[in-house]
Structure 1
Amino acid sequence: MIKRNKPLINFIKNMDQNIYSIQGQQKEYVMIKVALLKWLIDHYYIQWDLIIRESLNRDFTFQNIVYWWGKKKINLIEEKHHPLKPQEWNSLQEILLDVPIFSKESSTILGEVYQYINHLSKRKKEGMFYTPFFVIEFMLKDKMKNWQLEDKIIDPACGCGFFLGVAYDELTNYYMENPRLLGKDKDKIHQHILKHHLYGIEKNPIAVAITKLVLLLKHKNLIPIDMHILCEDSLLGDIESIKDRDFRLVIGNPPYVGHKKFDKQYRELLNEKYGQVFQDKGDLSYCFFQKGIGLLKEGGELCYITSRYFLEALNGGLLREYILNHCKIREIIDFYGQRILKGIQVDPLIITLMPKDIKGPGENIIEIFKMKVAKENLPGATILQDMINNGESRYFNHFKINQRELAKEGWRLLHPRAKSIIAKIEEKSFVKLEDICESKQGIITGRDKAFVSDQRIAKGKSLHRDLLKPWIKGKDITPFHIAKSEKVLLYSNDILDINQWPHENKHLLSHKSYLEKRRECLRGTRKWYELQWGRDKDFFEGEKIIFPYKASSNRFALDSRGYFYSADIYGLRVKKKDVQVISHEVLTLLLNTKVYEFYFKGFAKKLGESLYEYYPNTLMQLSMPQWSDEEHNFLKTNYQLLMKYSKEGNEKKVKNIMNRVDQWLFDYFGFNHEERKHITKLYL
């Protein structure tokens, strides 16, 4: 990729430094045109002579550059000529005639150049994340088998044509290996592929122009072809020329754009047209599933690389249900938090679907490749190449599941042995945590600088001790323990009139200009000196189990000291009417065992390579047995012993107790030897 190509990076930096009279999008356009011209010169498609130099100096447009390649006019993009200053033009000519850095690069390098010069923040805003070629080649592998002359491919968010460029190469090889279809005339093959096979939609005009160039430059001779690359919004634009149920393959990397990043009107239009998959907090990529599935002909395939978030996310329920009702899922490759798209904070998966034949059988077996928990940060290319070479990759657990086992509430992609373990737990469990517990998120102060301080500082300012509450954050919690904190929270919600509290008033006044601009204060629902979300004070002051909402492993601790905590922590307590069912001590012990960590991670939402979300809407789905008095006393006694030895610093005895409790749970649920090993190693 371009990031490792120093000559190319230097070429782009030289362009950037030498083009100074124009800025913004127009500068990007000029830089792409220089890159195109350099590519044509380096490949000897253009001879850089005086006539061409003068012509391009007068009219430095895509159309004119392409004209001097093939002596034919092709309109790639609507643009105006922006004349460069003489010094700029002279500098660019030197760059063009420098070392032929593009001579061994395919035309897709133009898209990579655009990717590099296009500001990273803009791509994040638009959800544009370019797919590495090793991923594209993997996704297209074997997709061209038994290809027919009329079969069509579409990328509904084609960007700079990376998928279509690789598809072109695959199809060219296919036709050259099967001359009975079109013969071996390269002109004929080139025209047929562009005219009959490749379709793309992209709303960014410069990306559309680059896609067309990538495909045209695949052949040395410029052959004017009316290509099917549309500059439109795939989801809401006018794309009548793209017919539904017409494509053998829908492929791509649809943009990941959360609901907060597009305006209310656009969101309402999406709700109206894609309401079967999209709801208010849904992701734009969900709509591309409905769109793509609608484009497939009978027997066609949709293959997307997308975020795995929808597998478990609450807002992904409609999409999960839609896929289950309308598709046969052929394959899911779940990288399980391994971020193979470097520099992008997205946890990917590759999913392949087919439209469901409602007359066909209800049974459908899905091939699952689930990444093993990584012990090292492996390059994505290494992972996928190993899968291509060996089929049964050492980096994945490969198994099959019946589509009927997937529920709209969330897809558990579990290894058969993990499935058996969880089934054994749930067979003996009759009480869900949501039935016997309540949970509360921590406090959102609205400005920690104003409300959180060291005890020493608070004392020095004479802040009233009745308003100061012990304060912790997620990092302070480990299994069974809460680290001692010197921080205190000024619980200002107990103040009725700030003017009656001179020390607190003086302390908060320096923050008043910020605090009074908070949304709730502007609406009149909070006094300027109050916490943004102070929650229910009684919950914090009572006994409760607390845990960080993001963690790599279970970290539950029993709080009997009345800690107040930040929003990165949740609290859990047994309802008063259910304290006879299970005590806080026993629940804390169980939640920290290997058995219940395995159980939770079986359906928890994965974040990156090692983190999980411990949100209550997931955690509260855990089920517990109805313990007998004898069983409950056994567990409670072990909790008390564990805390005693922990206080004494005897970690060996603490570990022995945890092992004893896990072994007791192994026996209670009837796990066999292999299942016990599976739990111990956290194989999901």
Structure 2
Amino acid sequence: MKHINQILTWKQSFGLLPIHLLPTDGYKNSYIMLNGGYGNFCLATQLLNKDTYNYYSFAWSSNTKNFVVINDSNVIIYNWKKEKPEKIQKKQVEDNFEKFYKYLVKDSYKSQDDIVPFIIDIFKQFRNLTQEKTSAIEALNLLFVLLVTIKEDINSIDFKKWGLTNIKIPKNFDCYVDKLKNGFLNIKPDLDLIIRHSSGLLFQEAQKEVLFFDRQMNLWGGFSNKIKSEKKMYSSIHYTPSFLARTIVENAIKELNPNTKNLKIFDPACGSSEFLVEVLKQLKENGYSGHIQIIGWDSSQTAINTSEFLLNYEKRMNWKEKLTYNLALVEDSLKESWADDYDLILMNPPFVSWEQMDKKSRDSVKEVLDKNVKGKPNQASAFFYKAIQSLKEDGIIGCVIPSSFFSLDAYQKLRNEIYDLISINLIGKLGNFVFEDALTDASLIVGCKPKKNIIPFVIWTKNEKGIAQNALRELRKMYYSQSFKVVDKDYSIYKPISFPIAKENWKPISFSENELLKNIERFVYEGNLLRVIDVFNVHQGIRTGNNKAFKFSKAEYIGLPENEKFFFRPVIDNESIKNCKILEKSYVWYPYSEDGLLIKTEDKLTKSVPYFLKNKLAHFRDELINRSRKDKSNWWLLSEHRAWLRKIEPRLVSTEFGNSHSFAVDKRGIFAVERGNAWLPKKTFIRIDYYYFYLAIFSSTFFDKLLSVYSKQLAGGHWYDLGKKYTKDIPIPDVNLSNVRNSLAYSQLVEIGKELSKGNFNIRTISDKILLKSFYHAI
């Protein structure tokens, strides 16, 4: 039987993080149970002697639906969306605990009546009032004042006490005060609970850029709540979701020395202080009684103002003289001087690509990274490296970071440098569905000084929506139950035998992939398998410089004069290979032969392709002249024609992105690889059968497993980058070895490859048995 009055039961059963509703004696047995992004609820393990509307208010103000109260004989669910509380016998809940929890989660859906959208609705009216497009400083100040009116009269607010300055109260502000105080269906808001449990989501809205305002007044004399704000799916600034900040903080403070009397905590890109408020909550929950010094920087004034309001509240209500904080508005944190004695650095640094940075930002990134990175680093990598250098000798870092940092060759030297400086305790790849407002592939890392020979826990998640939250809840559940791994089809949490798992690569992989990797690398070490890079040169396809000018459909190609068709080739791109068969869908201009360029002058161009020139190419002349390395003397040429493509010979080809369905043999060698790759043998293949041999291997379902281990997975399912960078280390048999060519497996795979080229795709399933028996030895 489950002892549901014990908070440990809820923690171990569901991986929930309990945080006291309020850090006061009167709420000693009352918690908000946090489960990782959705389905949170309030729980009291003893009666609070409150009426129904008090419970409704607590749940609503905490941005949850349910307040669960346990007494001696019953469990009562107060759901503010329902008219009456629901009473269930305690024994029935204990006997059906999993079912009860699923019922709570199912009943915890988001709605427009929740506290966050309710208040944001008012805030949008403030935005229409102040007309601030990018930085809602005035509107945000009005929101702070509005929240304060829950506790204090509008006419006697001590603005200094609340950390507020330069406040101008507009006319008709009373109508907003009344709306908030009246709440929803007579459910009143509670300021302490709003700030403690709902502020993160609430204040992210203030950072959005408004594209459209509506200045019309509503019936009550206030402004419209209709604004159009921008959701930047590919922005470099991503607001840290609470569930992610919560997990990073949990795992970071586990490494703190509990006897430390003074903590110095830093966030160099603090935003609205999601990390800083979270760490204060969890330290308070863990009973920390020492002094805390917080430093937070950001380039946004609204972020700093929000942080000031929240940290001022934390200090005044919960920490008093034990908390000091210093917030600073900075242009670029990397240009600032960082101290070197931080106990704890928590951050979600800006994920700004090299291409998005201005010259000043690039210079500061280069200065921080020095010679540890080649190529075009992301700004986040410089933040991470500088943070590690700024930790004291036993300092801890918890960080959100782009997943590319774990795998790109450009960061290899930097990874090695960092690995010599810190011990990594936890590392996880969470995928493209972590941030509400972006499709960035995000990961997390928690580490500490000094460097020790420890192996981190690794988190791998399938790249699908909602799975990261489930995995982080399972991580917490694993800790509570003192187990050592979690293996699920959607996520894995485990300690590998060694780290990094793959050579010079920090990429987290699933538990099953890790088992596969261990076995397969043994075969490489023993010389039974080579890597792709030892057998093939994987070449990127042509770059036209302007697809509208040079590339067109098959129908357009058919419409060309017969004598002009000679200068065009059918295309290999992401749409032209399906189930190992090449489809002629489009054509591209390719005025080259094995001897080189065929059309060297504009006069020759006019004589050779007059129809194509007049009806298509000439329309793009100015655009084509302005390309890099092109001018009036060669404007009709492709930007990158790839010299290897001029030779007409058999080729193994693939799309640019794909999987085992995405390879084919171009038997005649007539296709121009564009958005794809050509797999050219390093040693000449003396027989075309060699190509069919590798087509059978690359088209096997087993090869998808190899791609999942070695390549980069893309958002939206089992799709991978098939370029050289991500396929070079995949182990494959070497057809140049006589013992491989003379084997029965070789002849069988050749025949399978030929059948695949004819369109008999179902035969590929036979390849797995042959591969595992003959080359990968029943892995």
TM exceeding 0.5: yes
Shift of 1:164: 0.7
**1:20-59 mapped onto 2 (5 Å cutoff):** 20=128, 22-24=130-132, 28-42=136-150, 44=151, 46-49=152-155
Is 2:268 the partner of 1:156?
yes
In structure 2, how many angstroms separate the alpha carbons of the residues matched to 1:125 and 1:399?
Answer: 33
Distance in 1 between residues matched to 2:673 and 2:760, nearest whole Å: 31
Describe the SS at the equivalent of 1:511: helix
Q: Is the 8 A contact 1:153 1:250 kept in 2?
A: yes
2:665 maps to: 558
Q: Deviations over 1:390-448 (max 9, x none)?
A: 44434314133334766446657575522332223312346444344333222222332
Match in the other structure for 1:214: 310
Contact 1:604 1:613 in 2 (8 A): yes
Does the 8 A contact of 1:436 with 1:578 survive in 2?
A: no
* Pair 1:487 & 2:591 matched: no
Shift in Å, 1:468: 2.4
Q: Distance in 2 between matches of 1:141 and 1:476?
A: 48
Query: What corresponds to 2:521 in structure 1?
Result: 423
Deviates further, 620-629 or 606-615: 620-629
d(CA) in 2 for partners of 1:129 and 1:588? 41
Give the C-alpha shift of residue 629 in structure 1.
Answer: 4.0
- Tell me the amino acid that sits aligned with residue 6 of structure 1: Q
The match for 2:752 is 642
Pick from 488, 502, 522 the counterpart of residue 610 of structure 2: 502
**1:194-219 CA distance string (max 9 Å, x none):** xx332322222221121121111236
Partner residue of 1:662?
768
SS in 2 for 1:401: coil
1:114 CA drift (Å): 3.8
**Distance across 1 between alignment mates of 2:539 and 2:111:** 51
Asked whether 1:466 is paired with 2:554, we answer no
Q: Select which of 542, 549, 569 maps to 2:649.
A: 542
1:446-488 CA-to-partner distances (Å, cap 9, x unmatched) read 33232222333334353612112112421321343213x2422
Say whether residues 1:131 and 2:227 are aligned partners: no
After superposing on structure 2, the runs of 4+ consecutive aligned residues of structure 1 that deviate more than 6 Å are: 80-83, 122-126, 222-225
Rate the CA distance shift 1:141–1:16 in 2: closer, same or farther, 3 A: closer
Q: What is the correspondence of 1:477-626 to structure 2 with a 5 Å cutoff?
A: 477-483=577-583, 485-492=584-591, 494-496=598-600, 497=602, 498-500=605-607, 501-509=609-617, 511-512=619-620, 515-516=623-624, 518-520=626-628, 523-524=630-631, 527-536=634-643, 538-539=645-646, 541-553=648-660, 555-565=662-672, 567-575=674-682, 577=684, 579=686, 583-608=690-715, 609-626=717-734
- Which residue matches 2:545? 446
Counterparts of 2:632 and 2:419 in 1: how far apart (Å)? 44
Partners of 1:428 and 1:625 within 8 A in 2: no
> Judging changes above 3 Å, is the alpha-carbon distance between structure 1 residues 125 and 292 closer, same or farther for their aligned structure 2 residues?
same
Secondary structure of the residue that 2:456 maps to in structure 1? strand
Given the alignment of the two structures, is residue 230 of structure 1 paired with residue 325 of structure 2, yes or no? no
Match for 2:556 among 457, 469, 473? 457
Q: Which residue of 2 aligns with 1:348?
A: 442
Give matches, 1:298-337, under 5 Å: 298-335=393-430, 337=431
- Corresponding residue for residue 476 of structure 1: 576
Matching residue's letter, 1:506: K
Q: SS of 2:773's equivalent?
A: helix
Contact 1:249 1:301 in 2 (8 A): yes
- Answer whether contact 1:547 1:555 (CA < 8 A) is retained: yes
Looking at structure 1, the residues matched to 776 and 235 of structure 2 have their Cα atoms a distance apart, in angstroms, of 51
Distance 1:541 1:148, change over 3 A: same
Paired position in structure 1 for 2:101: none
> Partner of 1:59 in structure 2?
none
Deviation at 1:156, TM superposition (A): 2.2
**Matches of 1:526 and 1:440, distance apart in 2:** 28
Superposition TM-score, scaled by structure 1 size:
0.79
Report deviation, 1:40: 0.8
- Relative to structure 1, is the Cα distance of residues 385 and 89 closer, same or farther in structure 2, using a 3 angstrom cutoff? same
Equivalent residue letter for 1:454: S
Aligned equivalents of 1:381, 1:249: Cα separation in 2: 24
Which residue, 445, 457, 469 being the options, matches 1:381?
469
Q: Which amino acid aligns with 2:205?
A: Y
Secondary structure at 1:303's aligned position in 2?
strand
Q: Secondary structure at the match of 1:474?
A: coil
Deviations 1:234-277 (A, max 9, x none): 643444xx520x22222222221110111123212321232154
| Alpha-carbon distance between aligned partners in 1 of 2:127 and 2:641, rounded to the nearest angstrom | 54
Q: How many residues align?
A: 617
Contact 2:707–2:720, Cα closer than 8 Å, also in 1: no
In structure 1, the residue matched to 2:213 is none
Equivalent residue number for residue 158 of structure 2: 69
Deviation at 1:159, TM superposition (A): 0.9
Q: Contact between 2:162 and 2:313, CA under 8 Å: does it hold in 1? A: no
Q: d(CA) in 2 for partners of 1:198 and 1:456?
A: 66
Match for 1:438: what amino acid? Answer: N
Cα distance between partner residues in 2 of 1:298 and 1:565: 57
Worse overlay, 411-420 or 440-449: 411-420
Q: Residues of 1 paired with 2:342 and 2:239: CA distance?
A: 23
Higher helix proportion: 1
SS of the residue aligned with 2:538?
strand
The aligned counterpart of 1:273 is: 368
Structure 2 distance, partners of 1:339, 1:20, is 31
CA distance in 1, matches of 2:138, 2:308: 17
Structure 2 vs 1, CA of residues 197 and 556 (structure 1 numbering), >3 Å: closer, same or farther? same
- TM-score computed with the length of structure 2 as normaliser: 0.70
Q: CA 1:339–1:565 in 2, change beyond 3 Å: closer, same or farther?
A: farther
Corresponding residue of 1:197: 293
Higher mean alpha-carbon deviation, 153-162 vs 459-468, is at: 459-468
- 1:367 partner letter: F
Deviation, structure 1 residue 148: 2.1
Please identify, of 319-328 and 556-565, the stretch whose mean Cα deviation from structure 2 is larger.
556-565
Q: What's the counterpart of residue 680 of structure 1? A: none
Residue 140 of structure 1, aligned match among 244, 249, 255:
249
CA contact (8 A) 2:568 2:587 kept: yes
1:119 positional shift: 2.9
Q: Percent of pairs identical after alignment?
A: 18
Q: 1:93 and 1:495, CA in 2 relative to 1: closer, same or farther beyond 3 A?
A: farther
1:115 aligns with 2:204: yes
Q: 1:406 to 1:156 in 2, by over 3 A?
A: farther
Following the alignment from structure 1 to structure 2, what is the Cα–Cα distance between the partners of residues 340 and 228?
29
8 A Cα contact 1:307 1:347, kept in partner: yes
Greater displacement, 30-39 / 12-21: 12-21
> Any idea what SS the aligned residue of 1:515 has?
helix
Tell me, yes or no, if the aligned pair for 1:367 and 1:401 is still in contact at 8 Å. Answer: no
**Aligned to 2:383, what secondary structure does the other structure show?**
helix
Q: 1:199 to 1:147 in 2, by over 3 A?
A: farther
Structure 2 contact 428–508 (Cα < 8 Å) conserved:
no
CA distance in 1, matches of 2:611, 2:493: 61
> Match of 2:354?
259
The verdict on how the C-alpha distance between 1:27 and 1:571 changes in structure 2, with shifts beyond 3 A counting, is closer
Residue 74 to residue 11, structure 1, CA distance change in 2 (3 Å): closer
Aligned CA-pair RMSD = 3.6
Q: Which amino acid aligns with 1:617?
A: K
Separation (CA, whole Å) in 1 of partners of 2:352 and 2:633:
32
The corresponding residue for 1:434 is 533
Structure-2 change in CA distance of 1:383 and 1:236 (3 Å): closer
Counterpart secondary structure, 2:639: coil
Contact 1:474 1:566 in 2 (8 A): no
Taking the aligned partners of 2:503 and 2:408, their CA distance within structure 1 comes to 13
